[in-house]
Amino acid sequence: MATSLELAQQLKAKFGDLISEPAEFRGELTVTIADAQRIGEVAAFCKAELGFDYLVDASGVDNYGEDPRWSLAYELFSTTKNVYLRLKTHVSEEKGELPTVSNVWRTADWHEREVYDMMGVRFIGHPDLRRILMWEGYPYHPLRKDFPLAGKPTELPEVAFSKTTPMEGGPFVTVSGGKDSAAREPRIRIPED
Amino acid sequence: MTQNAELGYNTKVEGEVVHTRVDAAINWFRKNSIWPMPMGLACCAIELMASGASRFDISRFGAEVMRFSPRQSDVMIVSGTVTYKMALSVKRIYDQMASPKWVIAMGACASTGGMFRSYATLQGVDNIVPVDFYVAGCPPRPEALLDALLKLQEKVSKEPVISVWKKAS
């Protein structure tokens, strides 16, 4: 039975410099794909040759203030070999798009729609790239780091509206590692502090 | 055996005739069969279901007939987080309910937005529909909902009926 390290090395042997050295963190392996535009062929190889038949999750990260701004992570699992592998790739803010993997794993359809809805990263070749959580016509991508926690007012007649949420001095945030429950309970913490 | 006048009415006493006011009679009919429109949007709906089940038994108060059609329901129980995406649907269903109609905001989210102070959540369903009773809790226990229902019955029993009809016609 192949371990995820062996499978990651097979992936690197096939694609060479496109794939980074497998990085291990807490027993989980991550490989980074240097060119996001080639995610399609890597994904197809992972499924067809390495047996990663299950895409557990696909998600986006906003590294606001850094370049490239967007990180995409694909959590793969093989139901036959019982191993996990994480693919990561980066997309710059100017580019803002990468090929879909929904033609490899059908479940990526909704995951990519969520990334598009929340982050605004577009997926080339996606069969149905509409918003999935917010309504059609909502003008923002609310999980971007430069989107305020309280939201922004919008108005789409007959469809939906939104208002800015009163924060009442908040946001109220917990911090980990407090000595007792009084130190751990949510307090007003302004992000600039 | 003595009889309790509150619980059983002896029809023989006044020759099988009951005297009352029309308002009182109509309100008595109304308050004992308030059919809910279960607007179950989140975990509070689970407690709403528990209220309907045998242990808490909302049918003791005549409100067991959950109507999934707004045309047939009297009170909308908004149980759960109202998102902006759902808000106008909630409003539309409220508008489709026939008068007289009432609204119970069940739980912290429906009342104020609760812990969801975010871009996605309406901060209280009273932003879009008039709320008669707010039930505290996250989620409230079924007893708390039943308490709101009893308070609603009290409110209904005091509402004018005939004078409203006259004004309307």
| Residue A145 at interface with chain B, using a CB cutoff of 8 Å | no
Q: Look up the pTM and report it.
A: 0.81
Q: Tell me the per-residue pLDDT of B81-110, one tens digit each, with 9 for 90 and over.
A: 999 999 999 999 999 999 899 999 999 999
Q: Do B118 and A149 touch (CB under 8 A)?
A: yes
Exposure string over B12-28, b if 16+ CB within 10 A, otherwise e: eeeeeeeeeeebeebbe
Q: Which of A117, A118, A140 is nearest to A129 (CA)?
A: A117
CB pairs under 8 A between A and B: 47
Q: Do A171 and B113 touch (CB under 8 A)?
A: no
**What is the torsional sign of CA B78, B82, B86, B88?**
positive
What does each of the 193 residues of chain A score in pLDDT, given as a tens digit?
678 888 999 999 999 889 998 899 998 999 999 999 999 999 999 999 999 999 999 999 999 999 899 999 999 999 999 999 999 999 999 989 999 999 999 999 999 999 999 999 999 999 999 999 999 889 999 999 999 888 899 998 888 889 888 887 777 888 778 788 888 888 887 766 5
Contact A86, A28 (CB under 8 A): yes
Burial class (CB within 10 angstroms; exposed 0-12, middle 13-18, buried 19+) of B8: exposed
Q: In the structure, what pLDDT confidence band is assigned to residue B2 with cuts at 50, 70 and 90?
A: low
| Residue B114 at interface with chain A, using a CB cutoff of 8 Å | no
Does B12 score more than 80 pLDDT? Answer: no
Residues with Cβ within 8 Å of A166's Cβ and at least 6 positions away in sequence, in order, are A150, B117, B123
Mean pLDDT for B118-130 is: 92
Q: Tell me the per-residue pLDDT of B17-60, one tens digit each, with 9 for 90 and over.
A: 777 888 888 999 999 999 999 999 999 999 999 999 999 999 99
pLDDT on residue A89: 95
User: What token pair was written down for B38?
Assistant: 């279960």
Long-range contacts (CB closer than 8 Å, 24 or more residues apart) made by A144-150 = A144/A62, A144/A64, A144/A118, A144/A119, A144/A120, A145/A62, A145/A64, A145/A65, A146/A64, A147/B119, A148/B119, A149/B117, A149/B118, A149/B119, A150/B117, A150/B118, A150/B119
Query: 3-state DSSP call for residue A54?
Result: strand
Q: What is the mean pLDDT of chain B?
A: 89
Nearest to B84 among A147, A162, A168 (CB): A162
Contact A165, B115 (CB under 8 A): no
| Residue A157 at interface with chain B, using a CB cutoff of 8 Å | no
Q: Which amino acid is at B76?
A: M
Whole-angstrom distance, CA of residue A144 vs CA of residue A152: 13
Q: In the structure, what pLDDT confidence band is assigned to residue B11 with cuts at 50, 70 and 90?
A: low
pLDDT on residue A175: 79
pLDDT on residue B135: 95
Q: Do A151 and B87 touch (CB under 8 A)?
A: no
Contact A125, A146 (CB under 8 A): no
Nearest to B88 among A160, A166, A168 (CB): A160
* Residue reference for tokens 């909630």: B90
Number of residues that make up chain B: 169
